Structure formats: structure tokens, C-alpha cells
């Protein structure tokens, strides 16, 4: 199955946790029916990374990102890193992560998070894959580590939250992926930042099943709802939705080095 059956713009979800959806296959099929042509299934540990790679092998619209989330950083031992290296070598794996820093929940000690982040940055460098970055309450530290260790690596800032540091992100050429929270009424800083993201660095995502966009808040998110994200970004940037969707689709290919 490929493409869409009508004239709706082809949409992109650059970050979804399919392993947390009620039914993996139903989630993909619904997404394709809703007009999604490209989706990234993202791993946060070995189990979800295996699932992402398997899903990508079975659906032409899905690619995989494999990694260990900062919450589980303590689990990134040498054996786990070796399995990630193996998964990274599969043909449909295009990114390492999600990795990064989360000083909001601190489910792993900060020094352990930093070490896991460093190791996955080096894995991205070794494999030539893109780095999928999570940062929460750790923006300055995350940008510092990326500056010191990720030079020359393609970086995607997932669920973009660094509104006050957007000029630095632009200077470095990081891709900025906008999630469903852009539709929230109180997301003033994010809405302003979205207007400033250069078109060539813009991505859209759901972070399913989290950050469900309005007007569906209170229900689990799913990739099909990326349409609400795209519609809000289109409104904020005052760009025709067809042109915006085409731009984001092309950016997905460049961000994840996908060649038809």
C-alpha cells in the first residue's frame, strides 16, 4: 500500500511510539488512510526499538529510530549498545534515539543520562544515522553536549521545546519537529517559535500516544492526528497547507537521508 487515494496533502509523522498504541498494524493502516505517507516509529528501549525495526520492515510508509530514552539510561550497558548497533544496521533504520536528557522526571541520575547520551551520539556518528533528541528541563545542557560532541551529525530536536534558544538551533541547522502541543492555547512561546523555524528545518510529529492535539485532548494520541498539527502550523505560518505538507515531506527525506 502506498500513497493516498484522494487530493489531500500527504502528511508526515516524524515521531510516534507505535509500541504504545492499542494495535500496531491498525495504527499504521489508519494513518495511511488518513493521508500519512511517512512515519517514524521510535524506540525508547531495546524492546520498542526491535518493534520499530520490525514495523518498518513490514510497511513501506514506516521507518525506524532505535535508542534508549534518558528515563532508561541505566539500561544502556555494553550488550544493549551492541544490540542497538545491530538494529542500526538494518536497511529501514534511519535514526538513533530517542536519546537526550530529561531533568524534569530524573528517572535516571543525570550523570548516567549524560553518559548514555554521549554513547548514542557516538553510535550516530559511527553509523552515519540521524540523532533523535529528547530534552526536557535540560535545554542548555543538551545544546552544550550537542555542540561539544555532535558536530557533523544530523540532529532532530523532537517535540521542539527550545523556543528561547531557537536562534542557536537555527544557526546549527538542527531540524525542529513540532508536536501536538502547538495546538494548546497556552503554548504561546512555541507558537511564536514555529513562525520562526526556517522552512527547510521544519518537521511535524505526534509523539503518539502523548501530546494529543486540540480538539482531541484527553484521549490517547495517534499518528492520524498529525493533521491537526499541520493545520495549526499552517495557520501560524500563514502558508497554504499543501505547500507546507510538501515541504515537510521533503524535509523528512533530508533529515533521515531517505533516497527513493
User: What are the structural domain ranges in the chain?
Assistant: 11-255
Cell representation of residue 251: 524535509
Of 169, 171, 214, 229, residue with least CA distance to 193: 169
| pLDDT tens sequence across 10-23 | 899 999 999 999 99
Rounded Cα–Cα distance for residues 220 and 226 (Å): 13
Cell representation of residue 14: 516524524
Q: Which residues pair with 36 in a beta bridge?
A: 11
Of 104, 103, 105, residue with least CA distance to 114: 103
Pairing state between β 62-66 and 202-204: unpaired
Evaluate whether 56 touches 64 at the Cβ level (below 8 Å).
Answer: yes
Instruction: Please report the pLDDT score of residue 123 as a whole number.
Output: 98
Cell representation of residue 157: 530536536
Instruction: Please report the pLDDT score of residue 88 as a whole number.
Output: 98
Of 260, 221, 207, 256, residue with least CA distance to 13: 207
Instruction: Please report the pLDDT score of residue 7 as a whole number.
Output: 64
Instruction: Please report the pLDDT score of residue 17 as a whole number.
Output: 98
Instruction: Please report the pLDDT score of residue 6 as a whole number.
Output: 52
Low-confidence ranges of the chain (pLDDT < 50): 1-5
The domain 11-255 is placed in CATH, from the list 2.60.40.10, 3.20.20.140, 2.60.40.3670, 3.40.50.300, at: 3.20.20.140
pTM: 0.95
What are all long-range contacts of 212-219, with beta carbons under 8 Å and residues at least 24 apart?
Answer: 212/180, 213/180, 213/181, 213/182, 213/183, 214/183, 214/184, 214/185, 217/184
Instruction: Please report the pLDDT score of residue 8 as a whole number.
Output: 77
Evaluate whether 209 touches 221 at the Cβ level (below 8 Å).
Answer: yes
- How buried is residue 10: exposed, middle or buried, by Cβ count under 10 Å (0-12/13-18/19+)? middle
Amino acid at each position: 500500500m502506498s500513497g493516498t487515494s484522494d487530493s489531500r496533502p500527504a502528511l508526515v509523522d516524524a515521531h510516534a511510539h507505535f509500541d504504545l498504541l492499542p494495535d500496531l498494524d491498525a495504527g499504521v493502516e489508519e494513518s495511511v488512510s488518513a493521508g500519512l505517507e511517512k512515519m517514524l516509529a521510535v524506540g525508547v528501549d531495546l524492546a520498542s526499538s526491535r518493534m520499530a525495526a520490525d514495523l518498518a520492515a513490514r510497511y513501506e510508509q514506516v521507518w525506524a529510530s532505535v535508542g534508549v530514552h534518558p528515563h532508561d539510561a541505566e539500561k544502556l550497558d555494553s550488550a544493549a549498545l551492541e544490540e542497538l548497533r545491530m538494529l542500526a544496521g538494518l536497511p529501514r533504520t534511519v535514526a538513533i534515539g530517542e536519546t537526550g536528557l530529561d531533568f524534569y522526571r530524573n528517572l535516571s541520575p543525570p550523570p548516567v543520562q549524560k553518559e548514555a547520551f554521549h554513547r548514542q551520539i557516538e553510535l550516530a556518528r559511527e553509523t552515519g544515522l540521524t540523532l533523535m533528541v529528547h530534552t526536557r528541563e535540560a535545554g542548555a545542557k543538551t545544546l552544550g553536549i550537542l555542540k561539544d560532541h555532535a558536530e557533523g551529525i544530523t540532529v532532530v530536536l523532537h517535540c521542539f521545546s527550545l523556543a528561547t534558544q531557537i536562534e542557536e538551533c537555527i544557526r546549527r541547522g538542527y531540524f525542529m519537529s513540532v508536536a501536538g502541543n502547538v495546538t494548546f492555547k497556552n503554548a504561546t512561546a512555541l507558537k511564536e517559535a514555529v513562525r520562526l523555524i526556517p522552512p527547510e528545518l521544519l518537521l511535524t510529529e505526534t509523539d503518539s500516544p502523548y501530546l494529543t492535539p486540540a480538539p482531541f485532548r484527553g484521549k490517547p494520541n495517534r499518528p492520524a492526528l498529525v493533521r491537526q498539527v499541520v493545520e495549526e502550523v499552517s495557520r501560524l505560518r500563514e502558508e497554504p497547507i499543501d505547500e507546507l505538507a510538501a515541504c515537510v515531506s521533503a524535509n523528512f527525506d533530508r533529515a533521515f537521508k531517505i533516497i527513493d
